Amino acid sequence: KGSNLTYQQKDKIEKMKLPGVALYPETERFYPNGNFASLLIGMAQKNPDNGELKGAMGVEKIFDSYLSGKRGMLSYVHDIWGYIAPNSKQEVAPQRGDDVHLTIDSNIQGFVEEALNKLDDRFAPKDAFAVVMDAHT
């Protein structure tokens, strides 16, 4: 079992047409800013039983039902030579999950994260929270 193949590696393996070797795409979440605002954005984890990605905390958990796509399926009956029986092929196309767009001010978020990190380094509090709002009443 392998993972994280490059497109070149994938193409090379597919061209070999090795019997018993199948390639399956895996779902991943993309975090363009790395760990930035990670406690707010949260994270997704793979379920070890079925390999599905599930939001574990933060926005990932709250919006998991929107972010998660639907698996596709292909099934058919074939003979011992690999010929597919007529009218036996059933296919359901996979569906992509939706995107969630957040409006986080990166300057303010960076300042708050830095301040909380300094607070943690100096005082090691059990918990620390910060809320910054531009409230118009």
Domain ranges of the chain: 7-99, 105-137
Integer Cα distance of 81 and 33 in angstroms: 50
Q: How far is CA 90 from the centre of its chain?
A: 27
Between 29 and 53, the more confident residue is 53
Integer Cα distance of 91 and 74 in angstroms: 4
pLDDT tops 70 at residue 63: yes
Q: What pLDDT shows up at residue 87? A: 92
Pick the CATH number of 7-99 from 3.30.460.80, 3.40.50.2020, 3.90.1310.10, 3.30.160.40: 3.90.1310.10
SS3 96: coil
Considering the entire predicted model, what is its pTM?
Answer: 0.62
What CA–CA distances, in Å, run from 45 to 9, 51, 100? 26, 9, 17
Q: From 130, 134, 136, select the one nearest 110 (Cα to Cα).
A: 130
Instruction: Provide the pLDDT confidence category of residue 1 given band limits of 50, 70 and 90.
Output: low
- Give the chain's mean pLDDT: 89
